[in-house]
Amino acid sequence: MILQGASYGVTGKAIEQSKVGLSVWNPRDYTKDKHRTVDDKSYGGGSGMVMKYQPLADAVNNAKNSNRNSACKVVYLSPQGKQITQNLLTQASQQSQLILVAGRYEGIDERFVESVCDEEWSLGDYVISGGELAALIVIDAITRLIPGVLGDENSAKQDSYVDGLLDFPHFTRPEQGDLGKVPDVLLSGHHQAIERWRMQQSLGRTALRRPDLLEKKVLTVEQDALLNAFLNEVQK
């Protein structure tokens, strides 16, 4: 499912062009019983099943050996992890290899998480039924940060996210249509005015939608003035 999921779009192209490599190790292939059992009842009771640590630990060891990278970072994706940010992904994209562990059921035997995994990452405060989809999201988000995967236009845009602000609004043709018209400044050809407007929109939207992000930022005098003007305009 991971290989299929990653075979489309930006990740698919990056894999085709060997800009990233992606391999999958199935813990079921490292079981030792005839039923190829990867899960078992939970100690302490309850209805859910727990993933056994041995097949997973053997799968991770095989991944490390095939990668010839015994020090490769192992990351378990779960809602208990540290919340992923663009910053964390940027750092991860500078690692040569990464092993992502996808869990199922109620989770994995905690001894595996403690002894085999180096980090635990979360997409956010919600639960999905399998870690594979979480892994695909991480794979996509990291792949697009690898040099040469996206066009140049996008590196600047990534910078704006690293900047900790929301993106500004985008428009394309028609200039004027049933749903309204494009803001005049974007048609003005005045480069500096456009940059100022976009910065102002980014600041204003961040203030209105994600005040938590803005609290972490130190604004320049110009940014502060742009934001104040934006907020005054909204108040009217």
Judged by beta carbon, residue 14 or residue 51, the one nearer ligand 4GN is 51
Q: CB–CB of 226/168 below 8 Å?
A: no
Q: Where does residue 12 rank: exposed (0-12), middle (13-18), buried (19+ CB within 10 A)? A: middle
Among the listed residues 5, 12, 79, 164, the single contact to ligand 4GN using CB under 6 A: 79
Among the listed residues 27, 55, 107, 204, the single contact to ligand 4GN using CB under 6 A: 107
1 CB contacts (<8 Å, ≥6 apart)? 132
Q: CB–CB of 146/160 below 8 Å?
A: no
- Distance (Å, rounded) from C-alpha 209 to C-alpha 231? 12
**DSSP bridge partners of 120:** 76
Least distance CB 224 / ligand 4GN (angstroms): 35
Catalytic residue among 114, 152, 159, 178: 159
- Distance (Å, rounded) from C-alpha 120 to C-alpha 133? 15
Catalytic residue among 16, 29, 40, 106: 106
Answer yes or no whether residue 211 interacts with ligand 4GN by CB under 6 A. no
Site for ligand 4GN in 124-153 (CB under 6 A): 124, 126-128, 130-131, 134
Answer yes or no whether residue 55 interacts with ligand 4GN by CB under 6 A. no
Catalytic residue among 58, 119, 144, 163: 144
Among the listed residues 78, 143, 201, 202, the single contact to ligand 4GN using CB under 6 A: 78
Answer yes or no whether residue 164 interacts with ligand 4GN by CB under 6 A. no
The strand pair at 73-83 and 119-122 is best described as: parallel
Q: Distance between the two ends of the chain, CA-based, in angstroms?
A: 51
- Distance (Å, rounded) from C-alpha 98 to C-alpha 75? 8
79 is catalytic: yes
Closest residue to bound ligand 4GN by CB: 103
Q: CB–CB of 200/236 below 8 Å?
A: no
Answer yes or no whether residue 48 interacts with ligand 4GN by CB under 6 A. no
Which residues belong to the active site?
A: 79, 106, 144, 159
Residues contributing to the site for ligand 4GN (CB under 6 A): 77-79, 103-104, 106-107, 122-124, 126-128, 130-131, 134
